[in-house]
A and B are shown apart, each in its own frame.
Chain A
């Protein structure tokens, strides 16, 4: 090898990979999601190498694990089962003769589905018998085989959990018996032609009993277990194990905690189903401990939209298990719907995330700071080679502790979300608010009652915030995966070596000196996991007895080796520790570490216990990425298979979908603190799509999710654009508003805009959605360009439907739009404003000087302004003449545009409308300023040219009229005689002027003169304005 691998990889980091995109999305790509520690990839075949006679146990574990895997697949099959019967066609009367064909077809379709159910029935029978056999083999008091190990315990519990879940699902899904009865009916129709249907019929009856009996699987399991009456031992051990793990709650991540909580009530029922053993159970586990656990968690999530309640299970099962029905204390536990109101409030306080937000926020802030600083130290450590040992060990140890804490935080938070969901599902809202929906209340789905109306605005906010925390912490931890893994391995290696080499050494020399059997276990532990070569101070295990006096100096001199123990090593270590403390006797009263029957000193027991639980957490740490993946997976928030079935619809509308509700909440509330989490709900879709494909393995679910994502992403982008546009428009409007006005105004604050930040959103060039990369920024830019054009078009259209006086308002609104454009252009590459304006004005062409505004203006002048307005000389204003014909009647009213086409916020729009109202009834200098500004030097000459043409045409048109009037004049008018006085003169003049006949013409001429005058005055106004603008 020419270049060492490390150097080559390290050289990669010299590439600059700066990326402007902020992390506002959760994990989208997992580098690897393989579990090589929590699930042994080689099925513990290496356990045999340690020669602990665990062969039987290993075989049993692998068998159970295969069953668990199969069972999970069955469960997802049942969970995603949708009724086929609903889709079956009805035959019209005209085709009754082919009824038999239809039956046959239907039978064939249903037969496929029913064969799957039959498979489940067969599987559960074999699984139950295998589990029972397994338990029997390992619970014999005389112990012919080694085991069961802790891993074995877990496999048993998990298989039991799978069986319980299957049973629960089978009870809950109504469509299955429904489909089955249809199937049976078609079978009786079809089978009339067949021979030898007895076996089939028998099988059918069997399946029917299985499907229609509640808790058939558990009953069967019970029967299998107690065929020979020897499993109570192991049941009790399992119960003790569950209770202790739950009470300690250290090494449990939420999926395991939920598993234990689900299994415990079933275990209790099974263990107390024979009289003599129920007493011995309560001797080992006080009933109050059980009651406490059941009371603390009255609802436990089982499936995304299906929960379990221990109290309800206990009650229901008591009618099947006669012996259990005497356990009155367990049976008086209140099921979720019977909880008394006072306790209900306590639970409410416990379950609703809203009430824990303060702590969670503090935890999040604190943790993210500490994690970042631990990371920084790691980077410093990496860059400084030859660092001294202690320092580097401290930093790595610190990193390890932080990671452990991070996992626990994530697990607690995600667990909280699961539990809140379960709680909400168990307590549907009573009265959906009818006020804001037009539909009548009968169309409410149950799902709406538990989800849509069941989360208040604050609860949605809290949920969104928490999801954001989970996703961001997960992302942060995932990003440094390759950086920290060495440190984690090293720390774990050190912990293990420290324990087996030092602590065990000490124990061997003190406590276990005289106990041959036990000391052999200890030395086995050392043999199977000690890494002597890594301990530089002693190369040979035989020498260690000589070095007793140098113990203190030796303690910290391990050569760090970044290698983690294998799953098998941890498995064996845990087994040996159990052997040690129990003395090989599972029936030992008391808990695993609780009782001091074996004569081991308390501090040694304590050390063993700590190490034991640490070992089980090592597994999660070693599966770093997979653990993060599990802990941040919130896809369950989307799934609603159970409610879909009970509501008899194909799919719920998007408003009922929790992820969309969260997006919608951000949009509606326009909370500055939430805006950056607007993409977080899309992560939920990512998670649920992943879940649908990899766990449930159902293509149709993925398709449904994809359809919803398409819709919601479109809506999201559209609404996001509107928010951004409105915000910047309001900013622009508020900037342009006269500041002296806002100062003088009593409630001027309403014209200020609450600041929002979109920087993060503008930088999103790659948003990961369902495995696709979407350039959100370019989408926003595209739509923004369109929005600006629409807005200009809207304003022009509005102007085209009003009179000339509206030009001031048009100019104001266009000014605001221009400023908006400036503000947004700081972040986005928009088309230039002048370009968009000229595009919408239709004067892009180099040779045309007219535009939409100028032609509209000229139209207005010609048809409305010049004929109908008269000049008021003192005010230098034109006002609409009272007599003039009004054209307003023909104007089509413009549809009121969306608020963001005006000034953004309502208050600002009102203010600007008030302002524009002042200019609406006259035409004067301000209007002229507006016109000059709007038309500019390009189109003004056109207007002037048109005006001059207009004047000259008016003059030409006037000439014949004036001649006609002249004709009415007398040929000559001499000096009037003054005999009649003034009145007489007037009378004579009236007699001479015979204009009455031509009064029409006179008015027309006067009118034309007025128009010409107006035009001239208009031009003089223009002159004034032009001079003041371009002096």
Chain B
């Protein structure tokens, strides 16, 4: 039977390496998690900003349309100045 771990004669070395690996990976996963949090934040930020811009856009739109009406009314008055004299 081929024994599993035939080369684990230097088990202590592997153990030390594994230990170091855990610690290194703690650092790596910490960084990568925080990068992901950063991106998550950015995504959320984009989403809310989009919503807010959309609501602003909506208000501007309706103002614009009101303004247009007013303009038409004013122009109807200025083209017939005689009415106001």
Using CB atoms and an 8 Å cutoff, list the residues of chain A in contact with chain B.
5-6, 9, 12-13, 15, 17-21, 29, 31-32, 49-53, 143-146, 481-482, 485-486, 489, 517, 520-521, 523-524, 527-534, 541, 561-564, 566, 575-576, 579, 583-585, 765-766, 773, 775, 777-778, 781, 829, 831, 835, 839, 844-848
Contact = CB atoms under 8 A, between A and B. Distances in A.
B48 A17 contact: yes
Given A19-B47, A564-B29, A31 B8 contact: no
Given A17-B44, A584-B4, A847 B39 contact: no
Nearest to A583: B1
Interface in B31-85: 31, 33-34, 36-41, 43-45, 47-48, 50-51, 54-55, 57-59, 61-62, 65-66, 69, 72-74, 76-77, 80, 83
Given A145-B2, A765-B54, A846 B69 contact: no
A143 B6 CA distance: 13
Given A765-B51, A781-B58, A5 B31 contact: yes
A562 B73 contact: no
Nearest to B38: A9
B36 A53 contact: no
A31 B58 contact: no
A575 B5 CA distance: 10
B14 to A, nearest CB: 5
B4 to A, nearest CB: 4
Contacts of A831: 62, 65
B17 A531 contact: no
Contacts of B10: 51
A775 B54 contact: yes
Given A527-B8, A530-B15, 5 more contacts: A19-B44, A31-B36, A52-B5, A53-B2, A53-B7
20 contacts: A12-B37, A15-B41, A19-B47, A21-B51, A31-B43, A52-B5, A52-B7, A524-B5, A527-B18, A533-B22, A541-B15, A563-B22, A564-B29, A766-B47, A775-B54, A778-B54, A778-B57, A829-B62, A835-B66, A847-B83
A528 B12 CA distance: 10
B7 A51 contact: yes
B5 A51 contact: yes
Contacts of A773: 50
B33 A482 contact: yes
B58 A584 contact: no
Given A489-B29, A781-B58, A532 B19 contact: yes
A51 B39 CA distance: 38
> Which 8 pairs show the lowest CB-CB distances between chains A and B?
A845-B76, A51-B7, A765-B54, A524-B5, A531-B22, A579-B4, A584-B1, A846-B77
B38 A12 contact: yes
Contacts of A31: 36, 39-40, 43
A846 B73 contact: yes
A561 B58 contact: no
B54 to A, nearest CB: 4
Nearest to A480: B40
A21 B54 CA distance: 12
Contact of B72 (A561, A566, A766, A844): A844
Contacts of A562: 26, 29-30, 33
A766 B53 CA distance: 11
Contact of A146 (B4, B8, B77, B80): B4
B40 A482 contact: yes
A576 B6 CA distance: 12
Interface residues of B, number: 54
Contacts of A533: 19, 22-23
B73 to A, nearest CB: 5
Given A489-B29, A846-B76, A521 B62 contact: no
A517 B57 CA distance: 74
B7 A575 contact: no
Given A585-B1, A766-B51, A523 B72 contact: no
Nearest to B65: A831
Nearest to A569: B18
A523 B11 CA distance: 9
Contacts of B47: 17, 19, 21, 766
Contacts of B3: 517, 520, 584
B68 to A, nearest CB: 10
Contact of B34 (A5, A21, A778): A5
A481 B80 CA distance: 66
A829 B63 CA distance: 10
Contacts of A583: 1
A20 B51 contact: yes
Nearest to B25: A563
A19 B51 contact: yes
Contact of A847 (B11, B38, B61, B77): B77
A59 to B, nearest CB: 16
B2 A143 contact: yes
B60 to A, nearest CB: 10
Contacts of B7: 51-53
A848 B55 CA distance: 36
Contacts of B41: 9, 12-13, 15
Nearest to B9: A51
Contact of A9 (B37, B43, B54): B37
Contacts of A9: 34, 37-38, 41
B25 to A, nearest CB: 5
B8 A49 contact: no
A1024 B8 CA distance: 111
A181 B54 CA distance: 57
A284 B14 CA distance: 38
B40 A51 contact: no
A11 to B, nearest CB: 10
A534 B4 contact: no
Given A534-B22, A563-B26, A52 B4 contact: yes
B74 to A, nearest CB: 8
A563 B29 contact: yes
Given A31-B43, A531-B22, A521 B17 contact: no
Given A765-B51, A845-B73, A50 B33 contact: no
Contacts of A575: 4
Most chain-A CB neighbours within 10 Å: which of B1, B4, B22, B30?
B4
A778 B57 CA distance: 9
Contacts of B33: 482, 485-486, 562
A775 B66 CA distance: 21
B47 to A, nearest CB: 6
B4 A765 contact: no
A19 B48 CA distance: 6
B1 A524 contact: no
Contacts of A5: 30-31, 34
A765 B40 contact: no
A580 to B, nearest CB: 8
Contact of A51 (B8, B43, B66): B8
B61 A51 contact: no
A668 to B, nearest CB: 30
A583 B1 CA distance: 9
B50 A766 contact: yes
A561 B28 CA distance: 12
A517 B5 CA distance: 10
A530 B14 CA distance: 11
A5 B14 CA distance: 31
A143 B59 CA distance: 76
A32 B23 contact: no
A18 B45 CA distance: 9
A51 B1 contact: no
B8 A52 contact: yes
